[in-house]
Chains A and B, each alone.
Chain A
């Protein structure tokens, strides 16, 4: 099938018809070019959206209380809801296996001082599991640990921005920092890529802050991550159960929308996934439609070429070309033109994408790129397209009657 002679036949006819080969190929190259650009754009949008989530664990659920908006169980509306350690333990107790990590949190604004440097920062009091929920990276030292929790140690883990501002070139690990007049030891420095704001924060054990400031077990909010094997429905179901049982526990009207906020990342993710999935579908559909235009174009030009080469085909048949020889010739020519020009279009589009990609980093559009699956699929689509485009003209060519073709003119 792929003998050297067939190749030389095909390249002969391509070489001797450069302009029409180019015109034929261009429509396909253009179709693939647009398809790849569209897919890369969707990819860029997807990256952009994902970036909006920061880099917190994508399976996070955050519970934070507010005030009731409905009277319930003998309480008037407008009651402030307060969570405490008991609620955290309640969730741990009630849903083993449903959650992965869980951490209470108190946030406090503090005045921080080290030698002559001072500034105002937020300190988040959490437990050691929080590192997995907010996904911070420890650059130096360590995160807070169980022993800090038990001993209510006055230790802080500070963001790189805080460390930079208070300690300048100095290594902050093991040094003391004064927060609201109380001295804490710095045990670690963290960074959080994708969320520079959080690098202006500090972490301290929640037990420490509870003891120092209120001597209660109050917490401002509870962060947890759901079991990562959960699918979307299970994740949503889990946060619904938490909401229901916490409302029962805290005596809140089940229909009260304002008293307790449960923020499940799964919802946002599902929205974005739906949206970008839809965009991919649309762009694939558009790409395929453009490609169809290309295929029809090739088919059209090939039909014309067959007409132009009727005499030649007639001569070949008179000299002993079998119908299959003729079909092979036309089909192979079509596939080769489509594949080569399509690959050309693809390479050009990918080049353009990789050139633009590093420059483009807008909030909703970031690092557009083309994955291997796209490349492989496009290649297969191209070959099939070439076959389809060549099919009708090839059959038409095979049906050329030598006597008609050879009639002296």
Chain B
């Protein structure tokens, strides 16, 4: 599903340049649940941004579902993001003046789906994360865990190939974190490929594979025995 070869990325700030990714080789097959770990500055967020086409790569190759991702202009990148990827963020990033279902329906809006169908599909996805009674609520009326579940429903809405989660539990207490991980595991069980960036070990153990980044290189890549989050809920 994801193939990365010899990925390099540097940031230039004035006359200084910061070599963040120093040659990453990394493959993800369909249906995997991968945790990307590393201390801050290890390059894990940069890697996720490049995977998410939110940032460009300097050197190397990135193939997503057989499609080489290179020389993207903004419009093309937007199309690919919309079609291939679902994002889950640490700070949820819901639009605060839109109700839960309108937030979930937003990727569909950019696909040009009509309003009636958007609502139907948004409600279906909200129901699948257990938020059916809250479809008309604004984000400010929801708890942190509920907000993240809305965000997960939003990431699912466009039926993406890959879901990218950047510290999805970073802003949540441990009980809620496990609930969210339980949901992510269930989505993965249905065959969705998911990458989770985290620095929390217990969250990483709930994935099927853990990749450790250090100073811009992969230092460890192991399969783990998945801990089911439902046992902790």
The answer to whether A352 has its CB under 8 Å from any CB of chain B is: no
Compute how far the CA of A5 lies from the CA of B102 in the bound complex, rounded to whole angstroms: 11
CB proximity to B under 8 Å, residues A1-21: 4-5, 12-13, 15-16
Residue A54 CB within 8 A of the other chain: no
Task: Evaluate contact between A323 and B107: CB separation under 8 angstroms.
Answer: no
* Stretch among B13-21, B57-65, B78-86 lining the A interface: B78-86
Give a binary string over B78-114; 1 marks a CB under 8 Å from any A CB, 0 the rest: 1101110001011101110110000000110111000
Chain A interface size band reads: 20 to 34
- Measured between beta carbons, the chain B residues less than 8 angstroms from A15 are 97
Interface centre among A318, A321, A406 (most CB of B within 10 A): A318
Q: Which residue of A lies closest to B91 (CB)?
A: A408
Complex CA gap A319/B110 in Å reads 8
- What residue of chain B has the Cβ atom nearest to residue A16's Cβ? B97
Interface residue? A74 (CB, 8 A): no
Q: In terms of DSSP, what is the predominant structure of the interface of chain A?
A: helix
Q: B170 at the A/B interface (Cβ < 8 Å)?
A: yes
* Assembly CA distance A16 to B138 (angstroms): 12
Query: What is the CA–CA distance of A325 and B109 in the complex, to the nearest angstrom?
Result: 11
A323 to B78 Cα, complex, angstroms: 8
Q: Is the pair B54, A318 in contact by a Cβ cutoff of 8 Å?
A: yes
- Choose one: A314, A325, A402, A403; the contact of B110 (CB below 8 Å): A325
B-facing residues in A376-409 (Cβ within 8 Å): 398, 401-403, 406, 408-409
A154 within 8 A of B: no
- The interface on chain B, measured as residues whose beta carbon lies within 8 A of the other chain's beta carbons, has a size of 31
- Asked if B81 and A13 make an inter-chain contact with CB atoms under 8 angstroms apart, the answer reads no
Asked if A319 and B82 make an inter-chain contact with CB atoms under 8 angstroms apart, the answer reads yes
With contacts defined as CB atoms under 8 Å apart, how many contacts are there between chain A and chain B in the complex?
70
- Tell me the smallest distance from the CB of A403 to a CB of chain B, in Å: 5
Q: Which residues of chain B come closer than 8 Å to A311, judged between CB atoms?
A: 93
Instruction: Verify A319–B87 contact, CB threshold 8 A.
Output: yes
Q: What's the minimum C-beta distance from B169 to chain A, rounded to whole angstroms?
A: 12
- Let me know if B182 is at the binding interface, CB within 8 A: no
- For residue A96, CB closer than 8 A to chain B, the reply is no
Q: With A and B bound together, what is the CA distance between A362 and B89 in angstroms?
A: 70
* Known A-B contacts A403-B55, A408-B90; A320 and B97 likewise in contact (beta carbons under 8 Å): no
Q: Contacts of A317 on B, CB cut-off 8 Å?
A: 78, 81
Give me 10 A-to-B residue pairs in the complex whose CB atoms sit less than 8 angstroms apart, sorted by A's number.
Answer: A312-B95, A316-B106, A316-B110, A318-B54, A318-B81, A319-B106, A319-B107, A325-B78, A402-B54, A408-B90
Chain A residues within 8 Å of B, Cβ to Cβ: 4-5, 12-13, 15-16, 311-312, 314-325, 398, 401-403, 406, 408-409
Beyond A13-B97, A312-B95, A408-B170, 17 additional contacts (C-beta under 8 Å) are A5-B109, A12-B97, A16-B97, A315-B94, A316-B95, A316-B110, A318-B52, A318-B81, A319-B82, A319-B87, A320-B79, A320-B83, A322-B75, A323-B74, A323-B75, A403-B54, A408-B166
